[in-house]
Amino acid sequence: MTDSDETPGTEPDTKSGTSPGVAPDGAPPAAPPETSSVSLPPPVAEIATGYSFTGPALELGAALWDGRCHADAPVRIPLAMLNRHGLVAGATGTGKTKTLQLIAEQLSANGVPVFLADVKGDVSGISAPGQDNEKVRQRAAEVGQEWQAAGYPCEFYALGGIGTGIPLRATVTSFGPVLLSKVLQLNQTQEQSLGLIFHYADSKGLELYDLKDLKAVTGFLVSDVGKPELKGIGGLSSVTAGVILRAITAFEQQGAAEFFGEPEFDVTELLRLAPDGRGLVSVLELPAVQDKPQLFSTFLMWLLAELFNGLPEVGDVDRPKLVFFFDEAHLLFSGASKAFLESITQTVRLIRSKGVGVFFVTQTPKDVPSDVLAQLGNRVQHALRAFTPDDEKALKATVRTFPRSPYDLEEVLTGLGTGEAVITVLSEKGAPTPVAATRLRAPGSLMGPVPEADLDRLVKSSLLYGRYAEAVDRESAYEKLSGEERAREAAAVESSLPQAPAARKGADKSLAEQVVGSGIFRSLARSVGTQLGREITRSLFGTRRR
């Protein structure tokens, strides 16, 4: 590392570099500096000045320079800037998960709810106090931290109840055609056809609660009876409908049917506080569905879209209403259509004014599209590896995303140890802070999973468990259209039986006329007709507008 790139003719304000800032409520304050900032190397003094905020801030760690950790140059992030979004990146094993844990703890202590996706199953430890040991004490001494063991209030969820957690479900209607097309890996033509199916169900006020409802409506719209329903807007190809039905069937065979249905999860549950005023940490346990990355990453986007649709505008706030950590973010963008990416970009851009901060967690910044990356004001970049030409290219691209600094970032990023990162955040005035190689603090909670029995006890003792544990299957499109099918079959059988001449008067009616004339079909028509005033409308992401 060298300071040869330092801008000439500028002198850092060393007097303000000693300010430790304001520790977050409920979190231990940083230890007083051992030396005066006058003795700091000029680049470190500039870092100390750049991170000396006056308002509440989260303590991330201490600056590194020439292999030395400077405890009197703390690196922090203003609480009010957490809704300006962020990126936590780095190669596998560099400490990204512990960084999330460190930030989540302090957010909770400041009364800010947090959502975390636990892909590997090692985040549950945030609910239990950490274990004091020599490594923790050494890290705390290096960064000027008064380490204290502490657990934080948590709720644990599981997609569809697969795994240990409160079952988290969505209805197919709520999920919408855009997100479902991503999960089913449909092409653009098939996605448009799926949108047509949803349009029909929406216009009739028909709720698609689960996948069998969607299959029933799809089959109906390519039947002799259903084809005329879409005649005015192009119709639905039988071939495309067959592709969609096969995709849904394959999806069900993977066990995905459990994720769709009722009771649907109310995303405002994520905004709750614990009785002691700390923010609730909502952890979505995903180890049991690690082999379904397209599903869980898209499901996370549904949660975010639901928050965007349901929350009021609040503008700039002194602390976020929720911080949402989007783990394995590259899975969301991989293979995404242009419309899907545009929806993500717009959601991220606009949800800030709803008081929600979003942090994308992935391996390199290049995993995130540039339009989305441009919205991420806070950056925590852990070590990158440069073993291959592609790695070298990714490293150079990552360096270009940082402001100019006195560090040789290519050298620094390949030499960082576990629990170290290069950081730049937004100051209280919204300007980027100096780039700082940082040794991060140690989380106060358990750095590992809690025992399975303890996790199961936490889940079943939750007040939400009784509300969401049991799936409900109300009458919906499947039951209504199945009733119509039974009526059609009965009419066909009746027409094939020998009848008296008088009774055969209507025997030459078409099958469609017979079905339309059936009592069950008229009942269906009445039920649809009574719902026309409650036509379902959709939001930016194609999710149901509530």
Cα 218 to Cα 214: distance, rounded to the nearest angstrom: 6
209 within 8 A of 173, measured Cβ to Cβ: yes
411 within 8 A of 120, measured Cβ to Cβ: no
76 within 8 A of 58, measured Cβ to Cβ: yes
pLDDT tens for residues 137-161? 999 999 999 999 999 999 999 999 8
43 within 8 A of 3, measured Cβ to Cβ: yes
Q: Token pair for residue 327?
A: 């783990």
Residue 453 has pLDDT above 90, yes or no: yes
Assign 530 a pLDDT band (cuts: 50, 70, 90).
Answer: very low
Residue 228 has pLDDT above 80, yes or no: yes
pLDDT tens for residues 316-332? 889 999 999 988 888 88
pLDDT tens for residues 340-378? 888 889 999 999 999 999 999 999 998 999 999 999 999
pLDDT tens for residues 443-452? 999 999 999 9
pLDDT tens for residues 295-306? 888 898 899 999
Assign 475 a pLDDT band (cuts: 50, 70, 90).
Answer: confident
What values do phi and psi take at 225, rounded to 5? -75, -40
Q: Token pair for residue 189?
A: 């033509």
For residue 295, the model assigns a pLDDT of 85
Residue 94 has pLDDT above 60, yes or no: yes
Cα 542 to Cα 237: distance, rounded to the nearest angstrom: 22
What letter does residue 530 receive in the DSSP assignment?
A: T
Assign 485 a pLDDT band (cuts: 50, 70, 90).
Answer: low
Q: Token pair for residue 167?
A: 């079952």
Quick one: CA dihedral 346, 350, 354, 358, positive or negative? positive
Q: Tell the residue number behind the tokens 């259509």, with chain if given.
A: 337
Q: How many residues does the chain have?
A: 546
Assign 522 a pLDDT band (cuts: 50, 70, 90).
Answer: very low
DSSP for 449-508, please give it.
Answer: PPPHHHHHHHHHTSTTHHHHSS-B--S-HHHHHHHHHHHHHHHHHHHHS---TTGGGGTT
Per-residue pLDDT, averaged over 105-120, amounts to 95
Residue 271 has pLDDT above 90, yes or no: yes
In the sheet with 57-65, reading across from the earlier edge strand, the strands are 68-78, 57-65, 436-440, 420-424, 378-381, 86-89, 356-362, 322-326, 114-118, 281-285, 154-159, 166-168
Cα 539 to Cα 546: distance, rounded to the nearest angstrom: 9
DSSP β-ladder status, 86-89 and 378-381:
parallel
Cα 147 to Cα 155: distance, rounded to the nearest angstrom: 25
279 within 8 A of 356, measured Cβ to Cβ: no
For residue 499, the model assigns a pLDDT of 56
Maximum pairwise Cα distance, the chain: 110
For residue 1, the model assigns a pLDDT of 45
Predicted TM-score (pTM) of the model is 0.82
pLDDT tens for residues 31-71? 444 444 458 999 999 999 999 999 999 999 999 999 999 99
Residue 24 has pLDDT above 70, yes or no: no
- Backbone dihedral region for residue 122 (phi beyond 0: left; psi -120 to 50: alpha; all else: beta): alpha
Among 182-186, 467-471, 530-534, the least confident range = 530-534
Which of these, 242, 188, 238, 180, lies nearest to 210 by C-alpha position? 180
pLDDT tens for residues 116-125? 999 888 899 9
One-letter amino acid identity for 481? L
Spell out the residues 6+ positions from residue 520 whose beta carbon is closer than 8 angstroms to its own: 483, 484, 486, 487
Give the count of beta carbons closer than 10 Å to the beta carbon of residue 68. Answer: 12
Mean pLDDT of the chain: 84
pLDDT tens for residues 171-221? 999 999 999 998 898 998 999 999 999 999 998 888 899 999 999 999 989
Per-residue pLDDT, averaged over 237-242, amounts to 92
For residue 229, the model assigns a pLDDT of 85
Spell out the residues 6+ positions from residue 318 whose beta carbon is closer than 8 angstroms to its own: 55, 56, 79, 80
pLDDT tens for residues 426-447? 999 999 999 999 999 999 999 9
Assign 25 a pLDDT band (cuts: 50, 70, 90).
Answer: very low
Assign 86 a pLDDT band (cuts: 50, 70, 90).
Answer: very high
299 within 8 A of 176, measured Cβ to Cβ: no
